[in-house]
Amino acid sequence: MGQIVKLYLDWRLTGDHEWLRKMWPKAKRALEFAWVSGGWDANCDGVMEGAQHTIDVEFYGPYPLAEAWYLAALCAGEQMAGALGDLAAAEKYHRLYRQGSQWTDAHLFNGEYYIQETKGIPRDQIAKGLLGDMGSLDTEHPEFQLSEGCLIDQLVAQYLAEIADLGPLLDARNMRKTLQSIYRYNYRKDFYHYESVELVFAVNDESGLVMCHYPPGKRPAAPFPYFTCILAGFEFQVAVHMLFQGMISEGVEVIANVRKRYDGERRNPWDQAECGHHYARGMASWAAIQALSGFHYDGVEKTVAARPRIHRDNFRSFWSTPTAWGVLSQRRENQNAHFSLGIAEGSLTVLSVELEWEKKSSSSARLGGKSLEHKLRPTANGVRIALLSAVTIKAGEELVVSS
């Protein structure tokens, strides 16, 4: 399901419709694999209930991590199907997303975070290929379940949905409350008196977020593996999600704690180990730049958006897309505002720029000293500078917008 969202993100970044058209039949089959007999969503109601293999074991019954990934894939699938004229698929994905999202908020959100509704399944009713060799032997009374624990990556799908600009997968208030609960329950100031039964990557005076917190009396006799672990890649993704949701101090603190543990003296700063060295999940840290800068490029619409979440009156940041990278800046003083997008390498085609500025009556847009004809249009959260024709910004050039 995560790969479906990544496919969507690559399409939006590149705007390559022909590539998407070639990939779509395979992506559609992958998404709809959820509906096979004995599969994840065999009754096709928008809720994953089958044997869901994550964190090295199978989870049985509706489980927030996998369900949110499913909702994200349905959202992304709807957008891609619609763009390619596959309207029947788009309508079905939309319906399942709405059903699944509403059901999840109503049944899995406990007022503080999302939990698992554990339901055993007879082994002969599970589709071939959905059982690994590390899960519970008794699928009707499974061990290694999340149950009522507060899982660090229960909303990892929303983290990627933010990057892909898919919008909220579940109730926004519930998701924000969940992030607050993760910070409240999973955060430890130190590990002097903490016992980890699996991988140990934090000790003594170090701080961080543990994988799962169980309320008193709610921990299963045999929880899922790694529930006591502290793993940097998981911390990065939830920290970036916090940044996207405006929880700046919390998100920065989580990232800072990881960097303190991997400071070059305690551990290798270029090797945030998890299940082996140089583990890829740590690359989630890259998205902190996007979250704080609010930079987003849509290659389909040829739109650049910049919504800095810190230092909004005097902001400067690195940015990148598949075809270019450079530096953006924003300055606001009194009634005046200026935005620039400079390119160091590559090229970028732009048709419009969206900024979180106060509504303006006039504006200017220039590229290489040349004025660009445009229209200034209000949006829900600011303004859009819509150029009358697209421009391609090349290395060494800078697009400047002022009002």
Question: Tell me: the pLDDT tens digits for 34-64?
Answer: 999 999 999 999 999 999 999 999 999 999 9
Q: What is the mean pLDDT of residues 350-374?
A: 92
pLDDT one-digit tens code per residue, 337-349: 999 999 999 999 9
Instruction: Tell me the pLDDT tens digit for each residue of 238-267.
Output: 999 999 999 999 999 999 999 999 999 999
Distance CA(231)–CA(255), nearest Å, equals 12
Counting residues of the chain whose pLDDT is more than 90, the rounded percentage is 93
Instruction: Please give the CATH topology (third level) of the domain spanning 2-290.
Output: Glycosyltransferase (1.50.10)
Q: What is the pLDDT of residue 353?
A: 97
Confidence of residue 121 (pLDDT cuts 50, 70, 90): very high
The 8 Å CB, 24+ separation contacts for 328-331 are 328/293, 328/295, 330/306, 330/355
Q: What is the pTM of this model?
A: 0.96
Average pLDDT value for residue range 83-96: 98
For residues 94-121, average pLDDT: 98
**Range 102-116 average pLDDT:** 98
Fold of the domain built from segment(s) 294-402: Immunoglobulin-like (2.60.40)
Q: What is the pLDDT of residue 194?
A: 94
- Mean pLDDT (whole number) for 135-149: 96
362 pLDDT band (50/70/90 cuts)? confident
Scanning the structure block, which residue is given the tokens 């489980």? 63
Domain ranges of the chain: 2-290, 294-402
Does residue 99 have a pLDDT over 80?
yes
358 pLDDT more than 90: no
Residues 160-219: tens digit of each pLDDT:
999 999 999 999 999 999 999 999 999 999 999 998 888 899 999 999 999 999 999 999
For residue 368, pLDDT over 90 is answered with no
Q: Identify the pLDDT of residue 224.
A: 94
- Whole-number mean pLDDT of the chain? 96
Predicted confidence (pLDDT) at residue 360 exceeds the cutoff of 80: no
**pLDDT above 70: percentage of residues in the chain:** 100
